[in-house]
Structure 1
């Protein structure tokens, strides 16, 4: 670009900065900006359209169109050329706007007199705020330099919007980060929480988007990039030669950090008048916009790497980020785009709730949140850009709803809900040491799920009779390397110590699918839930499984030991896994180590195929646990990670209950203990139905044991069975309605 163009660009930004600095109300500032841009770019029209809600754009300021149209003209995103700019998040540049597909004629604006049209999105880090438009009577295509200039101005407007300069008397915008906002996401861990926002990565606010001296800004940028590169080199050194996959990720980081194209674009942005941090953020916004449209998962991941690098660079330039000096509130609710399991464990039980923009019900974060019994809502889009540290927030993990800065009436209703839950917990505490015996005299054993040492203190207070499932993968997921045998043996021994004389069933490593170890190379599988996971990995790569089995045997040290193998699909997988365990028992005996006083070997029934295994399987297994989460998704062919189908099929569907009944009968024939383990076991109505179908062992999160026990003690399971049988006879698809009506009559 010629020096004159660069000077004109800087001149425009300098004039814009001067307008921003003047004392004026928000609407007056917007009006001045449109006049300034139209004058500088020699166009008859400049208009600013801003979002009024998630789907509506409003004309908020104009030079050249009818003044009466301001705050009157509105359009949906996708409607007209302006709406298309907003929908596509990229510029539209045309010499003949009326001839363009989708052109919308708005008589109140008088815009039919203008042929050329250039519209660019006003956005900040992928968050759309509005659209900036210039128009001329002449039929002309705007030049590349003109498009660039208007994009830069749009970015500065976005930054100023973030800083609230358009707020005030007669303002076009209400103040950001002040209104109540409700987010509808997905449930990943049930429960309710009330607290104040703690941002995992506080957003960096660029307070100086325009700079006077490009030379100074180039020096600042280069110094920050040099520091960034040094930091990455040090991270690579610390990663060590043994951590190949982590090193590969850091090598990709280093490649991006040394990208000449990335540096060149940021330096060009600085030459045109932006500050160093604004130049970084402009490139980051472009990368995020590309990320939204790239279908290739690998390329999206690489663009995510670039996004992360930009965040690191912005923190270096601004001194903002995690070390802002902000103090964590007493009742923190963590808000983040996403978070890893190790980072989440660092926060521990201090958190009242967690809200993520991304994530999944089976993600590492969800696994840890369930282990810590912290309510978790996922897919709360844009919450990390809307929330500020200290904002009041309500998390309804049961409904997947989050209220940010709630109104008093909403907060009051939520407090009443929490109070009712607390009152119920007091009632549950009174029956903690009593058995879950129904009115007909049937006793159901209630056990808890666990995965961390931090879970074990809940064992006596919950009323659980033991640990029906201890997830051993969490110790692998939260580390940067494979744990050593001695470390695992010590951990498992502490688990047994904490459980005392209560039984703990250890499930061997269940990895793969959505649980990829940090040091394990991800497998590119079209359907990972049906792919190389759990026992399939263990049998194909037996080294880790043998090490884990040795650790479990040594941890028992003469005590009873229960081991359960996950995701068994056919009989020979169970026999192969059991043979591995028996060989390790023989090897430990040969080494002179103390063997368990009793060894119980079981399997998780998570695939429909195993329900039809030979009778010998049911005789060989010492116990069987139905893995309800996986079995349900495979039974209904409904991916539990897919929000569009995961709630489509009811657990109390007649077909599913009939299938569970068949499993109960097969286990009864072989006199093999059977349990149901999963989220549905912890739902009181479902638990009653399972018990009515013959299940006598249920394993669930500790907080669910009280509600389940309370309902079981108040019903007659023979009557529940009759209600289910009667509903089945009517041809009903689900027994839920009939069971709920019956339960209401019991109250």
Structure 2
């Protein structure tokens, strides 16, 4: 590129910076900017379109089109050439725009006299903010230098839009980080919380997109890149521990960090007038756009690596997000795109709530959030874009929503809800030491689910009679390599000691599907929930399972041991898994280790097939636990991670209750203890139904024990069963409505 062009580019950016520094309203700034761009690029028209909402663009300023069209002309994403630029996120350079595919004539703008059009997206890290357009009367193809220059200007406009430079009288002008925003997501852990936003990986804010001294900015860039390279090399040296996959990721980091083309493009951006920070972010945005269009999955995955590297470089340049950054508020609500279980455990119970853009109801983060009893809402699209650390936020895990910067009336209503929940919990605490005995004299054992040592104190406070499910996979998920047998034995021993004589049922490693170990190669399966997971992995790769069984045996120190195997689909799988346990008991005995005084070996019934297993299965199993979460999704063929279908089928559907009744009857035939474990066990009406169908033991999260016990103690289960039978006989699809009506007539609310 010629020096004269570089000079013109820097000159244009210099004029833009002066316009942005003026003490003027947002609209006046926009009007001045389009005049400067049209004049500098020697075009008759320059227009700025910004998003009015997520699907609508609005003409917010123009030089050359009819002024009365400003804030009146709107178009949908994908509509016309401007809408196409917004949808595809890449420039359109049309010498004869009216004859270009997708052109839409907007008569109110007076654009019919213009032929050539160049439009570029105004976007920040892939986030669409608007479109910048120049037009000319003569037919012409804008040069590569002109396209590049307009992209640089659009980059600056994106930064200034993010910083609120154009807040003003225009309906579409940005008011981000100021107005209340309601996010409708998905419940992953119930509960409510009020607090202040703590961004897990805060966005770096570039406040100086334009720079006067390209030599100084280039030096700053080189210094930061050198620091980045040293830090990546340090990480690589620290990873020399045999962790092959971690090393492969870091090798990719080093490849990017040492890329001459990456550095060269950023140097070119600086020569055009951008600051070092803006140059890094411009290339980050460009790389995102390029990689999104690549069909190869491997190259798409590299997007995350490049993002992370660019963010590291930005933090080095700006000092943001360093040790000297802002302190976590006293009432933190964690906001993030996604988060791993290890990172979440590092925060621990200090968090009031969690809001994520990604995740699933069965994700690692959801499992840990449930273990820590922290309200979690997932699928809150763009929350990390809208939120700033310190913003006031309300998290409603019951409804699956988050209120960012809520209005006073919303906050007041929310606090009333929190107060009502606290009052209910006080009422439930009075029942802590009381049995869950219904009016008909039936007593239901209420156990709690756990997966961390931090869960065990809830045994006392919740009134649980024991642990019906201890998830052992969490200890594997939060580590970068397989834990050692001695470490696991020590952990399991502490769990048993903390239970103080109450029963604890350990579920062996349940991995696969949505729970992939960091050091386990993910399996490319079309439907992993129905794939190679849980006991299937254990039987095919028995080394880890045998090690875990040895750790459990040694942890008992001669006390009782209850172990159950997950995801059993047929009798032979249970028989084989049980034999592994018997073999390890025999081996430990030969080694002279103390054996448990009593061993119970059970199975989780999570597939409909096992409900129809041979009688010998029920005779061989010491106990059976119905895994309700998986059983329900397989019974209804409705993936519980799919929001379109997961709420379509009711747990109180008569078909599902009939299956539960069938399982209970088969267990009664052989005298096999059976329990129900899952989210539905912790919902009072569902728990009441299960108890009425004959289930004597329910296992749930600790916070649900109080509400469930409260309802069970107030009803006659024989009457509940009558209501269920009458609803079934009537041909009802679900018994929920009939039960709620019956509770209402009886004067009880849930």
Which TM class, normalised by the smaller chain length?
over 0.9
**Alignment check: 8 A CA contact 1:201 1:322 kept:** no
Q: Which residue in the other structure is 2:326 paired with?
A: 326
Q: Which residue in the other structure is 1:462 paired with?
A: 462
Q: Which residue in the other structure is 1:572 paired with?
A: 572
SS in 1 for 2:118: strand
Task: Answer with 294-303 or 515-524: which moved more.
Answer: 294-303
Q: Which residue in the other structure is 2:735 paired with?
A: 735
**Alignment check: 8 A CA contact 1:715 1:746 kept:** no
**Alignment check: 8 A CA contact 1:362 1:641 kept:** yes
- For the residues of structure 2 that align with 1:719 and 1:93, how far apart are their CA atoms? 74
**Alignment check: 8 A CA contact 2:38 2:44 kept:** yes
Q: Which residue in the other structure is 2:135 paired with?
A: 135
Q: CA deviation at 1:288?
A: 2.8
Q: Which residue in the other structure is 1:497 paired with?
A: 497
- For the residues of structure 2 that align with 1:86 and 1:609, how far apart are their CA atoms? 50
How do residues 363-382 of structure 1 correspond to structure 2 at under 5 angstroms? 363-382=363-382
Residues 107 and 329 (structure 1), Cα distance of their counterparts in 2 relative to 1, 3 Å cut: same
- For the residues of structure 2 that align with 1:425 and 1:194, how far apart are their CA atoms? 17
SS in 1 for 2:93: strand
Q: Which residue in the other structure is 2:191 paired with?
A: 191
Matched, 1:421 2:425: no
- For the residues of structure 2 that align with 1:564 and 1:225, how far apart are their CA atoms? 52
Residues 410 and 296 (structure 1), Cα distance of their counterparts in 2 relative to 1, 3 Å cut: farther
**Alignment check: 8 A CA contact 1:291 1:304 kept:** no
Q: CA deviation at 1:174?
A: 5.0
**Alignment check: 8 A CA contact 1:188 1:377 kept:** yes
Q: Which residue in the other structure is 1:516 paired with?
A: 516
- For the residues of structure 2 that align with 1:141 and 1:726, how far apart are their CA atoms? 76
**Alignment check: 8 A CA contact 1:25 1:171 kept:** no
Q: CA deviation at 1:150?
A: 0.9
How do residues 604-623 of structure 1 correspond to structure 2 at under 5 angstroms? 604-623=604-623
Q: Which residue in the other structure is 1:247 paired with?
A: 247
Residues 140 and 24 (structure 1), Cα distance of their counterparts in 2 relative to 1, 3 Å cut: same
Deviations 1:709-744 (A, max 9, x none): 111111111111111111112222211111221121
- For the residues of structure 1 that align with 2:168 and 2:651, how far apart are their CA atoms? 53
**Alignment check: 8 A CA contact 1:26 1:171 kept:** no
- For the residues of structure 1 that align with 2:714 and 2:172, how far apart are their CA atoms? 59
How do residues 569-648 of structure 1 correspond to structure 2 at under 5 angstroms? 569-648=569-648
- For the residues of structure 2 that align with 1:123 and 1:435, how far apart are their CA atoms? 60
Q: Which residue in the other structure is 1:354 paired with?
A: 354
Q: CA deviation at 1:295?
A: 5.1
Q: CA deviation at 1:292?
A: 4.6
Q: Which residue in the other structure is 1:474 paired with?
A: 474
Q: CA deviation at 1:566?
A: 0.8
Q: What RMSD, in angstroms, separates the aligned Cα atoms of the two structures?
A: 1.5
Q: CA deviation at 1:264?
A: 2.2
- For the residues of structure 1 that align with 2:555 and 2:125, how far apart are their CA atoms? 50
- For the residues of structure 2 that align with 1:269 and 1:521, how far apart are their CA atoms? 39
- For the residues of structure 1 that align with 2:156 and 2:163, how far apart are their CA atoms? 11
**Alignment check: 8 A CA contact 1:27 1:171 kept:** no
Residues 59 and 684 (structure 1), Cα distance of their counterparts in 2 relative to 1, 3 Å cut: same
How do residues 648-687 of structure 1 correspond to structure 2 at under 5 angstroms? 648-687=648-687
Task: Answer with 245-254 or 99-108: which moved more.
Answer: 99-108
Residues 680 and 296 (structure 1), Cα distance of their counterparts in 2 relative to 1, 3 Å cut: farther
SS in 2 for 1:545: helix
Matched, 1:713 2:720: no
Residues 537 and 171 (structure 1), Cα distance of their counterparts in 2 relative to 1, 3 Å cut: closer
SS in 1 for 2:469: strand
How do residues 40-189 of structure 1 correspond to structure 2 at under 5 angstroms? 40-167=40-167, 173-189=173-189
Deviations 1:639-679 (A, max 9, x none): 11111221121111121111111111111111101111111
TM-score, normalised to structure 1's length?
0.98
- For the residues of structure 2 that align with 1:346 and 1:207, how far apart are their CA atoms? 31
Deviations 1:245-298 (A, max 9, x none): 211221222222222332222222122221111111011112333455555443
- For the residues of structure 1 that align with 2:349 and 2:288, how far apart are their CA atoms? 33
**Alignment check: 8 A CA contact 1:166 1:172 kept:** no
- For the residues of structure 2 that align with 1:290 and 1:424, how far apart are their CA atoms? 54
Q: CA deviation at 1:167?
A: 2.9
- For the residues of structure 1 that align with 2:264 and 2:98, how far apart are their CA atoms? 37
SS in 2 for 1:108: helix
Task: Answer with 75-84 or 55-64: which moved more.
Answer: 75-84
Task: Answer with 501-510 or 690-699: which moved more.
Answer: 690-699
**Alignment check: 8 A CA contact 2:60 2:170 kept:** no
- For the residues of structure 2 that align with 1:77 and 1:438, how far apart are their CA atoms? 59
- For the residues of structure 1 that align with 2:297 and 2:570, how far apart are their CA atoms? 33
SS in 2 for 1:506: strand
**Alignment check: 8 A CA contact 2:52 2:172 kept:** no
Deviations 1:586-615 (A, max 9, x none): 111112211111101001111111111111
| Unaligned stretches of 5+ residues in structure 1 | none
Task: Answer with 522-531 or 274-283: which moved more.
Answer: 522-531
Residues 226 and 143 (structure 1), Cα distance of their counterparts in 2 relative to 1, 3 Å cut: same
Q: CA deviation at 1:173?
A: 2.6
Q: Which residue in the other structure is 2:302 paired with?
A: 302
| Unaligned stretches of 5+ residues in structure 2 | none
Q: CA deviation at 1:72?
A: 2.0
Deviations 1:323-358 (A, max 9, x none): 343121111100011111111101000101001111
SS in 2 for 1:71: coil
Matched, 1:231 2:231: yes
SS in 2 for 1:418: helix
- For the residues of structure 2 that align with 1:665 and 1:577, how far apart are their CA atoms? 25
Residues 701 and 626 (structure 1), Cα distance of their counterparts in 2 relative to 1, 3 Å cut: same
- For the residues of structure 2 that align with 1:180 and 1:621, how far apart are their CA atoms? 55
Residues 667 and 296 (structure 1), Cα distance of their counterparts in 2 relative to 1, 3 Å cut: farther
SS in 2 for 1:367: helix
- For the residues of structure 1 that align with 2:279 and 2:226, how far apart are their CA atoms? 16
Matched, 1:692 2:692: yes
Q: Which residue in the other structure is 1:488 paired with?
A: 488
Q: CA deviation at 1:136?
A: 1.2
- For the residues of structure 1 that align with 2:297 and 2:666, how far apart are their CA atoms? 43
- For the residues of structure 2 that align with 1:721 and 1:395, how far apart are their CA atoms? 37
- For the residues of structure 2 that align with 1:149 and 1:442, how far apart are their CA atoms? 78
Deviations 1:186-239 (A, max 9, x none): 111111111110111111111111122222222222221222121111111112
- For the residues of structure 2 that align with 1:57 and 1:171, how far apart are their CA atoms? 11
- For the residues of structure 2 that align with 1:448 and 1:290, how far apart are their CA atoms? 49
Q: Which residue in the other structure is 1:222 paired with?
A: 222
- For the residues of structure 1 that align with 2:513 and 2:298, how far apart are their CA atoms? 17
Residues 474 and 102 (structure 1), Cα distance of their counterparts in 2 relative to 1, 3 Å cut: same
- For the residues of structure 1 that align with 2:295 and 2:324, how far apart are their CA atoms? 36
Task: Answer with 730-739 or 422-431: which moved more.
Answer: 730-739
Q: CA deviation at 1:99?
A: 2.6
Residues 183 and 292 (structure 1), Cα distance of their counterparts in 2 relative to 1, 3 Å cut: farther
Residues 468 and 172 (structure 1), Cα distance of their counterparts in 2 relative to 1, 3 Å cut: closer
Q: Which residue in the other structure is 1:435 paired with?
A: 435
